Chains A and B, each alone.
Chain A
């Protein structure tokens, strides 16, 4: 007889049961990366769908990217943010629509993490801060999938974490024999997200597993911890996890640097809260 864990895992990892992504988004995600033809192709695809265009531009102009100038066209967004970030943004528009129904706390946590990741990456001069910010926006996408598939059992998971004084991830492992990081990365691969986004999603709770994109992953990990510490939004986790030692090494963190980062992030979150309220 199958264990309950195996049954849950099969439910979640059934590709057919993944949330149905609109065809246009799948086409965009499937386009070839960093190719001139693909650049125009992606711009044109997005521009064909007015709703998608509006949503992408709204996110591109959000406080978590902190761009100096307003982005008014998709081509401009592509040029400034890069194709990986745009792909992530396009997927985020869909994820947000799912979260909007009954997981606004999780969406706010994602916005907060994206903001924090942008600030951390810029402060520490890590390349491609917009790409890292987008990875942070998507880092908990696994929770959205688990929630969509398990419904009431997911609520039970949240309660269990709180009642047993556990981290959410521990509760996930106990119930599902996997966690939201693994599920998110799996879905990201099914949806053709670039590796620059998938690896931080997969490894944001376990930096040791990060291979190719360690700096990006460390930034997303730190952003996740600091937003939880701040209490901004609600990730589903009642407790703040520790910043891993590897993050201190990779990002050369010390107490002063962390204090400066926290001050900058907390100041920016006021703007992010207003943005979040405006788009609900």
Chain B
């Protein structure tokens, strides 16, 4: 569980605590612990002046990170004997950029 700024919030993150409207007399939550954020909820929270929220470590993004790390390790292993060849290192960079792009695209969905 971690506290993040609303700017860092992304759809599909899971709330670890209820979100209450700032400065409101009523303590009725706007969104409940365990709810998944959606883009419209994030926009709504921004309108209401919410600045930060507490989310669970998102398993989906963790998996994405870990899958990316695995893919990069495998790429590095395949290119192991080519470190002295600049042309081949340029090609490795192309594949690496693709991996990062794929991860970002998957994360946006």
Contact = CB atoms under 8 A, between A and B. Distances in A.
Contact of A266 (B80, B88, B92, B98): B98
Interface in A30-77: none
Contact of A165 (B80, B82, B88): B80
Interface in B41-74: 74
Chain B contact residues, majority secondary structure? helix
Contacts of B94: 258-259, 262
B80 A258 contact: no
Contact of A243 (B77, B81, B87): B87
Contacts of A229: 78-79, 91-92, 95
A238 interface: yes
Chain B interface category by residue count: 10 to 19
Interface centre among A167, A240, A258, A263 (most CB of B within 10 A): A240
Contact of B74 (A231, A243, A248, A255): A231
Nearest to B102: A266
Interface string B77-109: 111111001011011101100100000000000
B82 A228 contact: no
A258 B78 contact: no
A243 B74 CA distance: 19
Contacts of A259: 94
Contacts of A248: 87
Contacts of B74: 231
Instruction: Say what secondary structure dominates the interface of chain A.
Output: helix
A263 B82 CA distance: 21
A240 B87 contact: no
A94 B75 CA distance: 32
A242 B82 contact: yes
A231 B88 contact: no
A266 to B, nearest CB: 6
Contacts of A239: 77-81
Interface in A238-255: 238-240, 242-243, 248, 255
A258 to B, nearest CB: 6
Nearest to A262: B94
Contacts of A230: 95
B49 to A, nearest CB: 44
Contacts of A266: 98
Nearest to B79: A240
Contacts of A243: 87-88, 91
A255 B90 contact: yes
A240 B82 contact: yes
Contacts of B78: 228-229, 231, 238-240
A259 B98 CA distance: 11
The residue in B75, B80, B91 that gathers the most chain A C-beta atoms within 10 A of its C-beta is B91
27 contacts: A165-B81, A167-B81, A228-B78, A229-B78, A229-B79, A229-B91, A230-B95, A231-B74, A231-B75, A238-B77, A239-B77, A239-B78, A239-B80, A239-B81, A240-B78, A240-B79, A240-B81, A240-B88, A242-B82, A242-B87, A242-B88, A243-B87, A243-B88, A243-B91, A255-B90, A258-B94, A262-B98
Interface of A: 165, 167, 228-231, 238-240, 242-243, 248, 255, 258-259, 262-263, 266
Interface of B: 74-75, 77-82, 85, 87-88, 90-92, 94-95, 98
Given A242-B82, A255-B87, A259-B94, 10 more contacts: A167-B81, A228-B78, A229-B91, A229-B95, A231-B75, A239-B77, A240-B79, A240-B88, A262-B95, A262-B98
